[in-house]
Amino acid sequence: MRDEVDVLVLGSGIAGLFFALKVAPYGRVAVVTKKDQPESNTNYAQGGIAAALAPDDSPALHARDTFSAGAGLCHADAVRALVREGPARVRELISLGARFTQRDNGLSLGREGGHSRRRIVHAADLTGREVERSLLEAIAQSDSVEIHENHMAVDLVLEHDGRGGSVCAGALVLPPGESTPRRISARVVMLATGGCGQVYAHTTNPAIATGDGVAMAYRAGARIANMEFVQFHPTALYPAGDRAFLISEAVRGEGAILRRLDGTAFMDRYHPLASLAPRDVVAQAIDRELKESGDPFVLLDCSPIRPDVIRDHFPNILAETKARGFDMLHEPIPVVPAAHYECGGVLTDTSGRTSLSRLYAVGEVACTGVHGANRLASNSLLEALVFAGRAAERIIPRLGGWRIPDSAPLSGWTGGDRTFDPAPDRARLRELMWELVGIVRSDERLTEASGLLAEMNTRVSAAMAESLLTPELLELRNLVQCGQMIVASAISRAESRGLNFNLDHPCRDNESFLRDTVIGA
């Protein structure tokens, strides 16, 4: 791997790869990714990409649904960019080689919770895998992009800008099998490291989702926003375990109904859209039903969907549930909520710019303000495309004018020679976040979590100073810091809005809290 590149991209999901493709004609691009190339949340995306493409749809309707889900906190300029530019970005993805499901000589458009129209472009129920495949194949054609697998970004490197501020000058990266990071210098750094679902015991996210980018940006002094808004997906297959299998919302979009174990449909008591209500409403309703009944799960009854539609539209879900002993063609399947998506992240403008000069962020790691207090289903793949494209458009004309910083030798990173086993702390962290900072919160539980996380942070900081650096230890540090940011943000929002439901403050308070929760200078 070179020590100097023009553009350093951290992450190889949809955000990092789409951005890398856009800037590739203008300089040398290094994509650093901590596992193999496609391993990302993107790769597991099922439902699809929301875009106003149907004749009865419009960007205005898509915006209305996005605002309605976002519970007053969506940034209007970001939402406008998302819905207006979204359809063209989806077409661009198709022109790059993505093969989405067709119906009646056009794109098949699915439906999901909170959407007033059919607008979900999908590749059956393996949309993310198709997106990764097409982007990686397109990148393989480019001579100027190098992808470095199994390299883990550790921290951002800052330099003085000569005017009393600092600029992002690159990143420290841990090569595979090594315990000393290397410095990679770049004219500009793009954070595209995804979310932090692994901070919770039960999550739909793969093991890579450890919040590394948000934690790195936080340590570098960037502004972080809205971390309290963690989205729990209502329907993970039970038992959820530490890597839950998702049952796409598109299944409810085609007609599946949530029921108690006694067969009663319950969602119409909570929302006029019943089983297709926005996710915060459905997850909170299921949580309440489970607490009232004492049952371990609720049922998803797929009998309203024709078997041929299930086979056609949901072949992977059908096969995966069957492999786990459930037959969704003939019986209801057990589901529970699981942590799924972080609406908050590194605060950016509508071109991906963070508060640190020459540090950009796109995708789940970023907080563009599009999602407000609750993300509308299938808006995140779209957000990644639209804002990666906008970031590239901002960066390309400026790239040549930005200097590559000197690759000063690395100093001050000594670590130690002890070995530290992060697994017990990682498991404890995930359990405590699930128990104390889950779907339903309270002041007492948040305060308890804050104390426990502070103790854990002290222990991990000591381990960082004394031990050999490993990816697992670095991930633990990042997970603990993300947990702390989620808890601090939830404590400071003394109201219930969107995904932040607090029993001690059950109402929305527009007087005091119609604003983002921002951490950092």
What is the closest distance, in whole angstroms, from the C-beta atom of residue 341 to ligand SIN in the complex? 6
46 binds ligand SIN (CB under 6 A): yes
Q: How many residues bind ligand SIN (CB under 6 A)?
A: 9
Residues 6+ apart with CB under 8 A from 228: 344, 486, 489, 490, 493, 499, 500, 517
Among 7, 8, 15, 230, binds ligand FAD (CB under 6 A): 15
Q: Which of 5, 21, 42, 337 binds ligand FAD (CB under 6 A)?
A: 42
* Residue 31 binds ligand FAD (CB under 6 A): no
Report the residue from 66, 101, 134, 193 that binds ligand FAD according to the rule CB under 6 A: 193
Provide DSSP, 323-359: HTT--TTTS-EEEEEEEEEES-EEE--TTSB-SSBTE
CB of 390 to ligand SIN, least distance (A): 20
The partner in contact with residue 16, picked from ligand SIN, ligand FAD, none with C-beta cut-offs of 5 to 8 angstroms by kind, is ligand FAD
Which residues, 6 or more positions from 306, have their beta carbon under 8 angstroms from its beta carbon?
none
Q: Terminal CA-to-CA distance of the chain, rounded, Å?
A: 34
**Per CB under 6 A, 378 contacts ligand SIN:** yes
From the list 28-36, 326-334, 352-360, 374-382, the region that binds ligand SIN by CB under 6 A is: 374-382
> Of the two residues 4 and 320, which places its CB atom closer to ligand SIN in the complex?
320
Cα separation, 489 vs 481, in Å, equals 12
The owner of tokens 């993107």 is 42
Spatial contact of 320 and 245, defined as CB atoms under 8 Å apart? yes
Q: Which of 7, 16, 100, 147 binds ligand FAD (CB under 6 A)?
A: 16
Residue type, 520: G
In the region spanning residues 374 to 403, those forming contacts with ligand FAD, defined by CB under 6 A, are 378-381, 384
Supply the Cα-derived Rg of the chain in whole angstroms.
22
User: Do the bridges between strand 106-107 and strand 166-174 make them parallel or antiparallel, or are there none, so unpaired?
Assistant: unpaired
- Classified as helix, coil or strand, 434 is helix
Dist. CA 439–CA 232, nearest whole Å:
7
Query: Is 47 a residue that touches ligand SIN (CB under 6 A)?
Result: yes
The 220-249 contact track toward ligand SIN, x by CB under 6 A, reads ----------------------------xx
Task: Draw the binding track, 139-158, toward ligand FAD (x: CB under 6 A; -: no contact).
Answer: -------------xx-----
Decide: 407 and 183 in contact? Cβ < 8 Å.
Answer: yes
When the beta carbons of 47 and 332 are compared against ligand SIN, the nearer one is 47
Q: State how beta strands 359-361 and 182-191 pair.
A: parallel
Residue 94 CB, nearest distance to ligand SIN (Å)?
19
Rounded CA-CA distance 123/100 in Å is 4
Computed from CA positions of residues 186, 191, 193, 199, in that sequence, does the dihedral angle turn out positive or negative? positive
CB of 15 to ligand FAD, least distance (A): 3
Angle between helices 379-395 and 14-23 (to 10 degrees): 30
3-state secondary structure of 366: strand
Binding window for ligand FAD (CB under 6 A); candidates: 60-68, 156-164, 180-188, 372-380: 372-380
State how far the Cα of 23 lies from the Cα of 253, in Å rounded to an integer. 37
Q: Which of 28, 279, 353, 441 is catalytic?
A: 279
Name the binder of 349 from ligand SIN, ligand FAD, none, CB < 5-8 A by kind.
none
Min dist CB 344 to ligand FAD, Å, is 13
Task: Supply the DSSP string of 12-81, one letter for each residue.
Answer: -SHHHHHHHHHHGGGS-EEEE-SSSTT-SSGGG--S-EE---STT--HHHHHHHHHHHHTT---HHHHHH
Query: Of the candidates 39, 228, 287, 349, which one interacts with ligand FAD according to CB under 6 A?
Result: 39
Could you give the strand order of the β-sheet that contains 109-110, starting from the edge strand earlier in sequence?
A: 49-50, 120-121, 109-110
Residue 278 or 502: the one with the smaller Cβ distance to ligand FAD is: 278
Distance CA 384, CA 75 (A): 16
Question: Among residues 40, 66, 205, 380, which is the contact residue for ligand SIN, using CB under 6 A?
Answer: 380
Q: Tokens 């697998």, residue?
A: 149
Does 47 participate in binding ligand FAD (rule CB under 6 A)? yes
Among 212, 280, 301, 425, binds ligand FAD (CB under 6 A): 212
* 279 has catalytic annotation: yes
Binder of residue 10, out of ligand FAD, ligand SIN, none (CB less than 5 to 8 A by kind)? ligand FAD
Q: Compose the 229-268 pattern: x for residues touching ligand FAD by CB under 6 A, - for all others.
A: -----------------x----------------------
**Which residues carry out catalysis?**
279
- The residues that touch ligand FAD, with contacts defined as CB under 6 A, are 10-16, 32-35, 39-42, 44-49, 127-128, 152-153, 192-195, 204-205, 208-209, 212, 246, 341, 363-365, 378-381, 384
- The residues that touch ligand SIN, with contacts defined as CB under 6 A, are 46-47, 248-250, 341, 377-378, 380
